[in-house]
A and B are shown apart, each in its own frame.
Chain A
Amino acid sequence: MIDNFSLLLTHGLLLLAAWRLLSRDDLDVDPPAEGDADA
């Protein structure tokens, strides 16, 4: 019961993280201006 709760919660969050990463362009290339243009 506790095992399943923990597995479901963490694996759900891992999947959500992976899903969000799929649509992020800055995963593979850092946006050149981001952080630099903050003056």
Chain B
Amino acid sequence: MHDLFLIGFLGALLVAGFRRPFLFVLGYVYVDIVAPQHLSYYLLNSIPISLIFFVAAVASWMMTGDKKAAAFGPRQAAMLILLLYCYVTTANADFPMEAQEKWSWVWKSLIFAVFLPLTLTTRLRIEALAVFMTLSAASIIIVGGIKTLSSGGGYGVLNLMSSSNTGLYESSTLACIAIALIPLILYLMRNGTIFPPEWRVTAFCLALSFACLLIPVGTEARTGLICIAVLGVLMLRATKKRFLYLSIVGALAIISIPFLPDSFTKRMDTLNEVQSDQSASTRLAVWKWTLDYVGDHPFGGGFDAYRGNSFRYETKPADSFDAAKGTSQSAVVVQDQARAYHSAYFEMLGEQGWLGLFIWLFIQLGGLVRMEVLRRRYRHSPADGDQWISQLATALQHGNIIYLIGAGFVGIAFQPFIYMLVGMQIGLDSYARRRRRAKTRNPLFATTTPRA
């Protein structure tokens, strides 16, 4: 039943793609995020659906796509360079087998991010991409949200439909991405044309945002709590009634604390106890090891190079303080090896070296700068004109910032969902550029051009 439903859905998307080829692109987005082959018991496992949609999307773009509108920007070039660079480091990797396995999904993620902006030639396409990314992620987030409400969740306990623990099904990743998605959900709630603003759309978007906020609670991923704090600050920047906003957020935070599960508050308490927390100590030790490693290997060790690490460090048990005796237990020496980076920055540094980290930062930070330019340029455009560009740029920028902060504690440098977000940023940027050119070419319409 499950399988038939998913197959029927994919079939419908494929058929729709033959009428409107852009739906192949959306189909790929869906398959990449939801990974229906992981939800299926037998049928879909054997069909390369992701490949089918990708080939269909590229082939139909080559045959019918608007090549004139397709611009190739510096960040796309950077992603191609990163792709080639990763290819070389994979060939020379410390752990060739493991590196090959990571390469097998990283290259798809990068290639698609380079290709995606070429197809984003109209406003509706950009919005459709946002809707598909949001709803695809929502299929996992809603499950996580409801299960958190009903059971309270727990670290590594929340069952997110699939046992694969890859992509968005990995709990820390989902916690970070879910929060990064909230600005985009709120953008769609106000500016949607596929689902224009009305009470049902508003209700769904608010409920989904709430479910996103519940993911860090349900998964007990501490990264998620940091991401929520960043979101709170960013929204303060975007809001006009700041005092009202602060009062509401403050009230909600106080009201919600008694409802948080006990294990959650306990775990979050450890955020303050960096010294005594083994997981934090491990991270610091791995990061130190990475810095030493790139000292000897400036070009990185290829994917999964962390497998070569081993170190000793001292830690105190989290509950080491014995209140009755007023003493604390002595430090414990921990011997550890092959620990993952737990940070996208160190992941890039250790695996791809300084050059790889530099290219990656260029892709990420370049997006923040470009979105800021668009945000300011179109801020004072008419509300029924180009103001949406400013609002979407703000949402994409905020999502990116939340990701970049969260990525400081989770190794998600190549998360495909983020590369789609980057692709959308590039698409929006070149769309806005084309629009401005069209207007300057046609001065009759230039009267509404905002200051630029």
Chain A interface residues (CB < 8 Å from chain B): 2-7, 9-11, 13-15, 17-22, 24, 26-30, 32, 35-39
A16 to B148 alpha-carbon distance, docked (Å): 28
Q: With A6-B139, A11-B139, A27-B124 given, can you name 13 additional A-B contacts, CB distance below 8 Å?
A: A2-B146, A3-B143, A5-B142, A7-B139, A10-B142, A14-B132, A14-B136, A17-B194, A18-B16, A21-B124, A22-B16, A28-B66, A35-B435
A4 to B385 alpha-carbon distance, docked (Å): 40
Q: Are B122 and A35 in contact (CB under 8 A)?
A: no
The 3 closest A-B pairs by CB, nearest first: A36-B445, A10-B139, A6-B142
Interface residues of B: mostly helix, strand, loop or mixed?
A: helix
Instruction: Determine whether B26 belongs to the interface, using a CB cutoff of 8 Å to chain A.
Output: yes
Give 10 pairs: A residue, B residue, CB < 8 Å, sorted on A: A2-B150, A6-B146, A7-B161, A13-B135, A14-B9, A21-B22, A21-B128, A28-B66, A32-B438, A38-B384
Tell me the minimal C-beta distance from A35 to chain B in angstroms: 5
Chain B interface residues (CB < 8 Å from chain A): 2, 5, 9, 12-13, 16, 19-20, 22-23, 26, 30, 39, 66, 121-125, 128, 131-132, 135-136, 138-140, 142-143, 146-147, 150, 161, 194-195, 204, 382, 384-386, 435, 438-439, 442, 445, 447-448
Nearest B residue to A15, CB-CB:
B12
Q: Are A22 and B128 in contact (CB under 8 A)?
A: no
A36 to B138 alpha-carbon distance, docked (Å): 34
Tell me the minimal C-beta distance from B29 to chain A in angstroms: 10
Q: Are B135 and A35 in contact (CB under 8 A)?
A: no
Contact of B448 among A22, A32, A36 (CB under 8 A): A36
Q: Are B448 and A39 in contact (CB under 8 A)?
A: yes
Q: Are B139 and A38 in contact (CB under 8 A)?
A: no
Q: Are B122 and A38 in contact (CB under 8 A)?
A: no
Q: Are B146 and A17 in contact (CB under 8 A)?
A: no
Nearest B residue to A38, CB-CB:
B385
A38 to B442 alpha-carbon distance, docked (Å): 15
Contact of A11 among B9, B131, B438 (CB under 8 A): B9
A27 to B5 alpha-carbon distance, docked (Å): 27
Q: Are B439 and A27 in contact (CB under 8 A)?
A: no
A35 to B20 alpha-carbon distance, docked (Å): 24
Q: Are B161 and A3 in contact (CB under 8 A)?
A: yes
Nearest A residue to B204, CB-CB:
A13
Contact of A10 among B12, B135, B195 (CB under 8 A): B135
| A2: B residues at CB distance < 8 A | 143, 146-147, 150
Contact A6:B20 (CB < 8 A) given known A18-B13, A18-B26, A35-B385: no
